[in-house]
Amino acid sequence: MIKILTIIGARPQIIKAAAISRAVAKRNDVEEVIVHTGQHYDQNMSEIFFDELGIPKSKYNLNVGSGSHGMQTAKMIEALENVFIKESPDCVIVYGDTNSTLAGAVTASKLHIPIAHIEAGLRSFNMSMPEEINRIACDHLSSILFAPTQVAMENLRAEGFMTSHAQFSNGKGRKVLNCGDVMYDNSIYFAQIAESNSVILSTLNIKPNGFILATIHRDNNTDNPESLNSIFRALSDISETNKQDVVLPLHPRTAKLLRTLSPELFDKVIHSELMKIIEPVSFLDMIALEKNASLVMTDSGGVQKESFFFEKPCVILRPETEWVEIVEHNAGVLTDADYEQIMDGYHKLLSKKVTFPKLFGDANAAEHILDKIIIYI
Ligand code: UD1
Ligand code: UDP
């Protein structure tokens, strides 16, 4: 029996983990222990996903909560060390690029536990992003790197990962593999369930293809009053000019900062008839919104990709993206948090010929990943 220990903490990691847990449940030679760092803790940022997505209960919740990068990561490392020593797993799985990912990778590497990094090789090449720092550090500490796309494989090749001489304490070298994207698995799998289970469209009184879906949470958008203002002004103007509903499930970070940095704008958008600013929603509701939106506007990594899976054009509220395929196929436009660029990007997307090729695997990435972990650890 192989014991894998999965680290989750932030919303997207909880959702990603559902795919691997489904693959584990199909086998009898793997045991999974889930450790939740507690980075996200609101009911609708964490608990809501477990039952709905069939994720086994976490065996440990470290309850680390919010804080500065150093404080949050340090608390995680301290608590994770005890758990890893107690559980002695054969492999630690970390997802993506959050502080929970970094803490899991640093702790496991110091205890000589092999690390599998799911979503390896993504790069924005913007070293001021905390996520870029986390993903680069984590890739270097990992023994099995699961790149979700060919672009991610090429990034790793360019950084020398394919010819690396790294030797891990189990005597093995590093493996770099493209097994596809576990979020493509999840989007396809849960889209069918969302079809029959989600009532979000009728609850919000919105029509298929009659609304824009937006999400905003990236720190360089939320923490800068000018950027936050530009984005919300653009959303509000697009909504009013085109008589378009805009559905915006608001991340708690954005809610707190908009309320304090721009109270007047907050007041305006919260009372707008067309802007439907709501609490974060469940993943099934989110999929229903993505599938039925006419267009998506987001700075989220996960949401821009899901809009591609569901063949929706996407205004990417960032200066660059790790998911360059989306822009290369004209399905996304990069606008940063610039009012003019957002307006321009919105109009461009409405008139562009967009393609959505299958670039993210065969929707069985989690099973392929688990097979490879068992072979290579
Ligand atoms: C984190 C990740 C980011 C990821 C995002 C997914 C890092 C550095 N950032 O950003 O890569 O895209 O999660 O959503 O790891 N808060 C709450 N309730 C919660 C969680 C957060 O109110 O349940 C508020 C707190 O005020 C907190 C702030 O949101 O200070 C930011 O939370 P944090 O986890 O530090 O970063 P995110 O912006 O969520
Ligand atoms: N998501 C969700 N409910 C919401 C907003 C997002 O279930 O109200 C899902 C979304 O579908 C995607 C993931 O959360 O799978 C993305 O998380 P987030 O945008 O917080 O982080 P990122 O992907 O940018 O790291």
Any residues with Cβ below 6 Å from ligand 1, and which?
10-12, 39-42, 45, 66, 97-99, 130-131, 217, 219, 252-253, 256
Beta strands per DSSP E along the chain: 2-8, 30-36, 60-61, 91-95, 115-118, 144-147, 175-178, 211-215, 245-249, 275-278, 295-298, 314-316, 332-334
Region of residue 277 (phi > 0: left; psi between -120 and 50: alpha; otherwise: beta): beta
Which pLDDT value is given to residue 351? 86
**CA 363 to ligand 2 center in whole angstroms:** 19
Ligand closest to CA 280: 2
Residues in the chain: 377
Residue nearest to atom 10 of ligand 2 (CA): 303
Residue with tokens 């879906």: 213
Q: Is 257 in contact with 218 (CB distance < 8 Å)?
A: no
C-alpha 375/C-alpha 264 separation (Å) is 57
Residue nearest to atom 14 of ligand 1 (CA): 11
Q: What's the CATH code, domain 2-181+361-376?
A: 3.40.50.2000
- Is this model's pTM higher than 0.85 or not? yes
Which pLDDT value is given to residue 151? 98
- For the CA of 15, the closest atom of ligand 2 is 15
Which pLDDT value is given to residue 148? 98
Domain ranges across the chain: 2-181+361-376, 189-351
Note the pLDDT tens digit of each residue in 131-175. 999 999 999 999 999 999 999 999 999 999 999 899 998 889 999
Quote the tokens at residue 180. Answer: 């596809």
**CA 128 to ligand 1 center in whole angstroms:** 17
Residue nearest to atom 5 of ligand 1 (CA): 10
Q: Is 165 a catalytic residue?
A: no
Give me the sheet containing 91-95, strands edge to edge.
60-61, 30-36, 2-8, 91-95, 115-118, 144-147, 175-178
Any residues with Cβ below 6 Å from ligand 2, and which?
11-12, 15, 215, 217, 249, 280-281, 283, 286, 300-303, 306
Quick check: do 2-181+361-376 and 189-351 share a fold? yes
Q: What's the CATH code, domain 189-351?
A: 3.40.50.2000
Ligand 1 pocket mutation, candidates 16, 97, 98, criterion most atoms within 8 A of CB: 98
- For the CA of 96, the closest atom of ligand 2 is 25
- For the CA of 101, the closest atom of ligand 1 is 15
Which pLDDT value is given to residue 355? 85
Give the C-alpha distances (Å, rounded to integers) separating 296 from 33, 195, 290, 310.
Answer: 35, 19, 7, 11
C-alpha 123/C-alpha 136 separation (Å) is 8
Q: Is 136 in contact with 97 (CB distance < 8 Å)?
A: no
**CA 253 to ligand 1 center in whole angstroms:** 6
**CA 71 to ligand 1 center in whole angstroms:** 14
Give the bridge partners for 95, in sequence order.
118
Q: Residue-wise pLDDT tens for the chain (377 aa)?
A: 999 999 999 999 999 999 999 999 999 999 999 999 999 999 999 999 999 999 999 999 999 999 999 999 999 999 999 999 999 999 999 999 999 999 999 999 999 999 999 999 999 999 999 999 999 999 999 999 999 999 999 999 999 999 989 999 888 999 999 999 999 999 999 999 999 999 999 999 999 999 999 999 999 999 999 999 999 999 999 999 999 999 999 999 999 999 999 899 899 899 999 999 999 999 999 999 999 999 999 999 999 999 999 999 999 999 999 999 999 999 999 999 999 999 999 999 988 788 899 999 999 999 999 999 999 99
**CA 155 to ligand 2 center in whole angstroms:** 24
Which pLDDT value is given to residue 9? 98
Task: Point out the catalytic residue in the list 36, 40, 117, 217.
Answer: 217
Residue with tokens 């990068």: 69
Residue nearest to atom 5 of ligand 2 (CA): 280
Could you tell me which residues come within 8 angstroms of residue 161 by beta carbon, excluding any fewer than 6 positions away? 121, 139, 145, 174, 176
Q: Helix or strand or coil: residue 62?
A: coil
Residue nearest to atom 22 of ligand 1 (CA): 252
Cα dihedral: 285, 198, 41, 116 (round 10): -70
C-alpha 164/C-alpha 149 separation (Å) is 20
**CA 300 to ligand 2 center in whole angstroms:** 7
Quote the tokens at residue 65. Answer: 């909560």
Ligand 2 pocket mutation, candidates 99, 132, 283, criterion most atoms within 8 A of CB: 283
Ligand 2 pocket mutation, candidates 118, 185, 286, criterion most atoms within 8 A of CB: 286
